[in-house]
Amino acid sequence: MTGITTTDLVKRFDDVTAVDGVDLNVREGEFLVLVGPSGCGKSTTLRLLAGLESPTAGAVEIADEDVTTASPSDRDVAMVFQNYALYPHMTARENMTFGLKTATDFSADAVDDRIAEAAGILDIEDLLDRTPSALSGGEQQRVAIGRALVRDPEVFLMDEPLSNLDAKLRVQMRAELAELHAELQTTTLYVTHDQVEAMTLGDRVAVMYDGEIQQIAPPQQLYDAPETRFVAEFIGSPGMNTVEGTLKRRGDAAHVTWGENSLSLPSAGAVKPYAGDRVVLGVRPEDLTQEMGGPLSMEVTVTEPLGDSLLTRGVVGDTEMEVSLPPRSAVDVGDVLSLTADPQRLHLFDIETGAALYHSAETVGSDAAEPPVADTQRSTT
C-alpha cells in the first residue's frame, strides 16, 4: 500500500517541542490536509516526512517501508515549496529536468515525454523556455508542481504551495490542484494554515495545534462535530462562538446559562461526564438567528457586510459572539438584538480539557450531520 504512516513522531528543537507525538495515517491515493495556526508544527511534520529534518523520536513509513533515517532522495517523495524553490538561473524545462536523472531512472526520451505530459496537464507548454524571473507567481507555482509531477513519486508533499499567490489566483489554483489530484490519484499530504483551503481540498483534514493532532476527519464532519474546542474555533469562517456557562439539568431537559442568557439543550442525557458545573457552549454564527423574544440578547459592536450575509459582532452577557444575519438586515452598532440558536446545532466542551462533551445534532438525528466515523482520533491539550 502506498501511504504514509507516522508512529508517535516527536521533534524537539532545543527546548521547544515542535511535534509532540503525532500518529498520522495517510491512505493510498488520499489527499490529506494538515491545517493549523502558525507554529503548530504542521510544516515540521511535513519536513520530517520529507527527510529534511530528522525526528527526535518515532518512526515514518512510506509505502510500507521504514524511512525514518533514510535520506530525502531515497524516500521517493516530491515536494512543492511555499516559495516554489525554482532555480533562478534555469529555464522552466531545466528546472523540471535538473536532478531528474539522479532522482529517477527515466531514459532521455521518457524524460521528454514526461515533461511534455506534465506541461500539458499544467498548461505551461509555452513557458518551458522561460526563466522564473519571466514568469508570474502562478506560473512559477505551476512549474514547481510540474517539477514534482515529472518525478512520478509515491507521495506528494506540499508545503503551503498557494500562500504566495494573490487571493483570486489562489482560488483558481486550488480548484486546479483538486482536479489534478482527481486525475492522478497520487497520495498527497498538503500543509496549509488556511482552513478554507483545507476544507475544500482535503479528502480528510487533520487539525494540528501545539504539536499535536486534534482531530482527523472528513471536512464536513470537522465542521459538524468538532472533537475539541480548538477545532470548533479554528474550523469555519468565522469560527464557532464559544462561551463559558453553567449547565443546569431538570430531568432530561437542560440549559446552559451565562448572565441573563440561557439556551436549552435537547437530550441532555447524552452529555458526557465532566468535572465541575461549568462548561463551554459552542454555537456557530450561522446557526444563530434573530427572533423577537429570543433567549439571547446581543449588543452590537461591529457589523461587517459580506455581501451574501451580514456578519455582526456583539456582546452576549459578557462574552463576544458573532452572528451571521441575512444581508441588508437593518442592524446598527449599539442595537440590542434578540437571538435564538438552532437547537440541533449546539455543542458542549469540557472547560478544562476542551474535549467535546456533546453535539446536539448527534442526539436528535439531523440530516446535516453524519454519525461519527470510527477512525477519527483525538488528543486533548
Partner 1 sequence: MGVHENTYDSTVGAYLLLLPTLVAIVAFLYYPSLQTLRFSFFQTFLFGQNTRFVGLANFTELLSSQVYLTSVGLTIAFAAIVVVGSLAVGLAVAFLLYEVSDGKAAYLIAAIWPYALPTAVAGTVLLFLAHPSVGIYTHYMEAWFGVELDWFTVGWQGFAVVAVAAIWKQIGYNVIFMLAALNNVPESLNEACRLDGIETWRRLVRVYIPLMSPTLVFLVVINTIYAFFGSFALIDLMTQGGPTNATNLMIYQLYRDAFQFNNLGLASAQSVILFVLVAGLTFVQLRVSDRYAHY
Residues that bind partner 1 (CB under 8 A): 50-52, 71-74, 77-79, 81-85, 87-89, 98-100, 102-103
Of residues 260, 174, 230, the one with CA closest to residue 380: 230
Contact 312, 323 (CB under 8 A): yes
Nearest-approach distance from CB 149 to partner 1, in angstroms: 14
Cα dist. 329→10, 65, 332 in Å?
50, 58, 9
**Which residue, 95 or 228, has its beta carbon nearer to partner 1?**
95
Nearest-approach distance from CB 102 to partner 1, in angstroms: 5
Nearest-approach distance from CB 46 to partner 1, in angstroms: 11
Contact 62, 49 (CB under 8 A): yes
**Which residue, 77 or 361, has its beta carbon nearer to partner 1?**
77
**Which residue, 51 or 354, has its beta carbon nearer to partner 1?**
51
Q: Is 328 exposed, middle or buried (0-12, 13-18, 19+ CB in 10 A)?
A: exposed
**Which residue, 73 or 237, has its beta carbon nearer to partner 1?**
73
Nearest-approach distance from CB 83 to partner 1, in angstroms: 6
**Which residue, 114 or 345, has its beta carbon nearer to partner 1?**
114
Nearest-approach distance from CB 20 to partner 1, in angstroms: 23
Nearest-approach distance from CB 364 to partner 1, in angstroms: 50
Residues 6+ apart with CB under 8 A from 136: none
Q: Helices 137-150 and 167-184: crossing angle, nearest 10°?
A: 20
Please give the Cα distance from 87 to 106 (Å, whole number). 21
**Which residue, 74 or 123, has its beta carbon nearer to partner 1?**
74
**Which residue, 71 or 107, has its beta carbon nearer to partner 1?**
71
Of residues 350, 344, 215, the one with CA closest to residue 273: 350
Contact 115, 93 (CB under 8 A): yes
Nearest-approach distance from CB 98 to partner 1, in angstroms: 7
Please give the Cα distance from 246 to 258 (Å, whole number). 7
Contact 53, 24 (CB under 8 A): no
Of residues 21, 4, 5, 32, the one with CA closest to residue 55: 21
Nearest-approach distance from CB 41 to partner 1, in angstroms: 18
Residues 6+ apart with CB under 8 A from 351: 244, 274, 276, 278, 279, 280
**Which residue, 38 or 71, has its beta carbon nearer to partner 1?**
71
**Integer distance in angstroms from the first to the last C-alpha of the chain?**
32
